[in-house]
Structure formats: structure tokens, C-alpha cells
Structure 1
Amino acid sequence: MARRRYELTDWEWAIIEPLLPNKPRGVARVDDRRVLNGIMWRFRSGATWAEIPERYGPSTTCYNRFVRWRKAGVWDRILAEVSAGYNGELVMIDSTCMRVHQNGATGKRGSYDRGMGRPRGGLTSKLHALVDADGRPVSLRLTGGQIHDACEAEALIEAIPEGATLLGDKGYDSNAIREAAAARNVWANIPNRSNRKQRFAFSPWLYKQRNLVERFFNRIKQFRSIATRYDKDPANFLAAIKLICVRLWCNA
């Protein structure tokens, strides 16, 4: 049962297979399903790439395939395809923090953003997410843990269809966010901060649906490599999250 929990089901594979690159150059690729199962095993177990069991083929093949397809935008395209018909009438926005493991914090320090920060509690990364009315991910952004939720809200709002309703907690109660939502004809059902002078309409009953975004975070954190960040490269870590989200969509 433990082995089956890591691997793609026939249903998931039937959805994912047609979306994979289908024109290999030169020598035929190692079996895609076996390699993807090895990649999923690594994310679910939290082990290193080198510890991927032999039944999934060489661990270097799993790693290289994951990174190469990430650079080619394969994971982004697959997530976009499976989420194209999302329920956009009601969407929720929120963020969650993942602690960075010491192995993930040892990369070269440079001018690029590693998606790590030091808020209270240590080195963390923060995932900002927009989910639909069924709790399925629509748009994702990764930052350091010290970045305020509101800083990424406007970018996520761009993925919301016109006429939708947006649910967010008090951390998103700012004039800039409300104006960005209004510009797309989106109603921001966000509770008013206690010190706000201009009050906005708010529906407590509708706000109860916001727990769907919390459920989404709980589901992806069942994968140990997501709950704790081991990847040094922020692009690899975000790609891992997107690949997990593809599985969530396949089982929605």
C-alpha cells in the first residue's frame, strides 16, 4: 500500500501522459511513467534524489528529467492544461510558510532571489496561492517567509476572471488590493481591519468557504518535500509544488 501511495494511478497517468513531450530526439526516453513515479516518490518521502529506489530507474535520470522539463516549462504547461476549466465564480487567496531545511539553505548566495527569508521562527519560504471554489490551485507564487501576503496579492488577482468573488483574510485588507480587484470587476469579500475608517461590505457566511484554501495547503504538505523545503533552487521547489498540484487536479 505504501508503494501504491507514491505512484501515479492509471487514472492520473491517462490524464498526464498526453500532455508530456512526445517527440524525443535521438535515443528513446526511459519510460516516462516509471520516471514520474520516482519523482513522486522523492517528493512524498522527503528523501534525497540519490535514495530513489532502483525500481524507478537511475536516480540521476529522475532528477535530470525533472529539472530539464522544468526549464522547458513542461510542468507549467501541464498544470495550465488540467486547471483550464476551473470554477472561477468564487476564489480564495492565502499563504503558508515552509521551513527551509539546512540542506536547502546551503546554496550559493548571489544576487538572485532564493525565495527564502528570516521572519520569526527561522529560515522559511512562503507559498502564495489562489484556489477555486473546489479548493483546487489556480495560481502560485513563491517568496521568502518575511514577505507580507499583500505584496503578492495583486499578481494573483490577475488570474481571477471578471465578475468573481474573492475571499481573503484581514491581511489582504488594503485599498490597493481592493482597487486591483475592482478593476477586474471582482468583489473582494475581505473582513475590515479594526482601524479602517472606510468600511466595506462583508459577508461572514460567504467567508466561511475560505477554509478551502487551508485544506489545499494541508493536502500538499502531506508530501514531505513540500512541507519542508530541501531544494536549494527556488525554481525546482516551486516546480515540485506545481507537479503535486497536477495530481490534485487529476483527482478533483
Structure 2
Amino acid sequence: MGGRCRNVGRDHGRQRPLQHRQHHSPRPRLGSGRKRGTHRRALGRSRGGFTSKLHCLAYALGRPVAFHLTGGEAADCKAYDDLIDLPEQAPDAFLADKGYDADAIRADLVERKIKAVIPGRSNRRVKIEYDRALYKQRNRKQRNQIDRMFGQLKINRAIATRYDQLANSYLDMVHLATARYWIKFVHAA
């Protein structure tokens, strides 16, 4: 009896019935469509730690039109494609900082007939001319207004500290805060 009880519950090489998993581990089954990881969270390593970047497309007065969330290690120019297609009316000029200085972005702006007001990076071999007067306006007016807009959004604690794990839920909170921000201007008009 002692020899038989030791093997109870073990199949010892017998064929197992078909199961929904290929491996017996705490992972989702194959083909379930559920993917885990940081790609759904838009988090990444940067100098400041494990963070994310919120990119904003705004009008000249600093009022936000669209947002895009990327991981902390992503370059600024990666958000350009997602943001440039969003406005209903094409802008006359695209004012941005050196992070958006890329030949592909400049070629796309020429194709869309939008004036590029982007200073060249310091390591660029061929210096690119841009409208310095218009860029100074960005530094004086628009940049301060966009910084103020981000400050207004960060009054909401959920945006400033990013409690939400998933990128979609965090962007939903950003959109709610943006709606509150826009209501001030719509109500005043």
C-alpha cells in the first residue's frame, strides 16, 4: 500500500487530456489577445527614472488640441506623426524646439505646405535657416502659455503624479482636465 500511495495524483508519462495552454504557467493562453508589459503603459526609462512623456499639439495661444503619450526614453520627434494629422485645419506654421529637428519632419511639412519654424540641432552639419522672429514669439508667448497650460492640467493630482497604470486611462484623465481648461475659454467667449 505504501508504494501505491506515493504515486497518487501523478500521471508518470501517461497522455494528458487536451488543455487550453501549451505550458502550465501563469501566463495567458496563446491567442487570447491579451498582452502584458510596459507597451500598454507608455512608461520607459529616462534620466529621471521610470517616466512617460506627454506631447501636446496646441494653438498659437497655448490652448491644447491633442495629446500623445510616449515612454520616457522616446525621442520627441516620434510623436510628430501622431499629432500632425489631428487638426481639422492645417496650420500656417509649425513652431517646435530642437527635439523636432529631423529631415523627415521637414520634408513632411514642405509636402503639407506648412512653414517649419524649427531651429537646427547643434550637431547638424548643414545649418538650416528658420524665421527667428517667429521663433522668438514662441519663446516669449507660446512657450510660456504652453507651460502655464501644463501647470493648469497638473493641478489635478492624478495627472501630476500619474496614478493610472494604463496609458489609455491616464490619457482619459488628461482629456477630462483639458475639457475643464477649455470650458474657461468657451464660457468667457
TM-score by length of 2: 0.70
In structure 1, what is the equivalent of residue 26 of structure 2? none
Alpha carbons 1:118, 1:146 under 8 Å: kept: yes
CA offsets 1:112-160 (integer angstroms, 9 cap, x no match): 5211111112111111110001211111111111111111112211135
Q: How does 1:1-252 map to 2 (within 5 A)?
A: 109-110=36-37, 112-160=39-87, 161-162=89-90, 164-207=92-135, 208-209=137-138, 210-211=142-143, 212-252=145-185
Alpha carbons 1:163, 1:184 under 8 Å: kept: no
Alpha carbons 2:58, 2:64 under 8 Å: kept: yes
AA aligned to 2:131 is S
Structure ID, larger Rg = 2
AA aligned to 2:65 is V
Unpaired runs of at least 5, structure 1: 1-107
Q: CA deviation at 1:110?
A: 3.3
Q: Hey, which of these two has a bigger chunk of helix by percent?
A: 1
AA aligned to 1:157 is I
AA aligned to 1:238 is L
Alpha carbons 2:40, 2:166 under 8 Å: kept: no
Alpha carbons 1:157, 1:180 under 8 Å: kept: no
In structure 1, what is the equivalent of residue 19 of structure 2? none
Q: CA deviation at 1:109?
A: 4.3
Q: CA deviation at 1:111?
A: 7.3
In structure 1, what is the equivalent of residue 30 of structure 2? none
Mapped partners of 1:197, 1:245: distance in 2: 40
AA aligned to 2:124 is R
AA aligned to 1:199 is K
Alpha carbons 1:220, 1:245 under 8 Å: kept: yes
Q: Count residues with an aligned counterpart.
A: 145
Q: Determine which structure has greater relative contact order: mean sequence separation of CA pairs < 8 Å that are 6+ residues apart, divided by chain length.
A: 1
Mapped partners of 1:129, 1:138: distance in 2: 7
AA aligned to 1:142 is L
Percent of residue pairs identical: 41
In structure 2, what is the equivalent of residue 42 of structure 1? none
Alpha carbons 1:125, 1:144 under 8 Å: kept: yes
